[in-house]
Amino acid sequence: MWLYVAVVLVGLYLLRRWHRERQVVPGLPEKYVLITGCDSGFGNLLARQLDARGLRVLAACLTETGAEQLRAATSPRLQTLLLDVTSSQSIAAATAWVQERVGDRGLWGLVNNAGTGIPTAPNEWLTKDDFVKVLDVNLVGLIEVTLSLLPLVKQAQGRVVNVASVMGRLACFGGAYCISKHGVEAFSDSLRREMRPFGVQVSIIEPGGFRTAIMDPTRVVKGFRQLWEQLPAQTQAAYGHHYLETYAKNMILLHRLSSSRLSRVTDVMAHALLARFPRRRYAAGWDARLAFLPLSYCPSWLSDAIIGLFLPIPAG
């Protein structure tokens, strides 16, 4: 009997959750959403999706070419602006531009999507500048954009959606990318608790492996080889040329195994923006849900052993 009761209770819980997650906020045509990193990838697709649903999309691109291509693929309702998230001057100008457009309505949604992953390499191969280059975009830029636009989001009692990564839960390789995504997780968690009394909701997106510019094996491997050429002979000898070639092959394989269905990420981004009851975290992709997230909860000795199976072995 208790088994039947348990099954019924679980079924009712799942039904209630299913119903809650499909409720959408009203007045979509009047809501403004700013998305960073719209030249390509997740940001570009999300901008087109939200535009198709009638929202007032403010798409921030790094290049004029990216902005032109996006405008050509969307309705006249979508507006673009140029934004370099590493430049305080650019962020200030973008904030003034957004304020001019949203007026008293405020900014319903801020999607911090802009990011970079290069250079990626063993930490020992990198310099402080290599780390700063990635952190400035993925973390410091994200924070500055958020703080600059937060008054407008509070005005609308809207949403902040920050794109992290499963690598923000489990650092599988060296370089600043994983570090920056851990930082995004921490910043988002603290911001979510601080903004709750103001009616602002903060969500974290944790994609697995997807075929975006960040995952482009040509660029990643090229950067990896350039770092190799700059290493002292002693360090090259310690790692060995085999390490270099194995890493390059692994990056190409990782790209092949990555999903090309970017909508798996943009759909949960849209849910975080438009659902009445958004989640605090969204894991996107089967690899994120079935591999990386469970592995992140394992004891360190076990996760180290499993990840170590896929890492190149230095010459010693």
Catalytic one of 32, 177, 239, 243: 177
109, 161 contact by CB (below 8 A): yes
Is the backbone peptide bond immediately before 314 cis, with ω within 30 degrees of 0? no
Alpha helices in the chain (DSSP H): 2-21, 41-52, 64-72, 88-102, 128-135, 141-156, 176-195, 217-230, 233-239, 241-257, 263-274, 286-287, 293-296, 300-308
Instruction: Give the DSSP H/E element, type plus range, for residue 163.
Output: strand 159-163
Question: Rounded distance, CA 109 to CA 34, Å?
Answer: 6
Q: d(Cα 83, Cα 118) in Å, to the nearest integer? A: 19
Closest CA to 77 of 100, 55, 110: 55
Q: Supply 305's token pair.
A: 């052993």
Residue 225 CB burial class (10 angstroms; 0-12, 13-18, ≥19): middle
DSSP reduced 3-state for 140? helix
Whether 13 is a known active-site residue: answer no
Contact, 71 vs 80, CB < 8 A?
Answer: yes
Query: Using CA atoms, how far apart are residues 198 and 153, in angstroms rounded to an integer?
Result: 10
Contacts of residue 130, Cβ cutoff 8 Å, sequence gap at least 6: 119, 121, 175, 176, 227
**32-35 and 109-112 as β-strands: parallel, antiparallel, unpaired?**
parallel
End-to-end CA distance of the chain: 62
Tokens for 293, please give them: 């997230």
Residue in this structure with the two tokens 């170590």, named with its chain if needed: 308
Q: Give catalytic residue positions.
A: 177
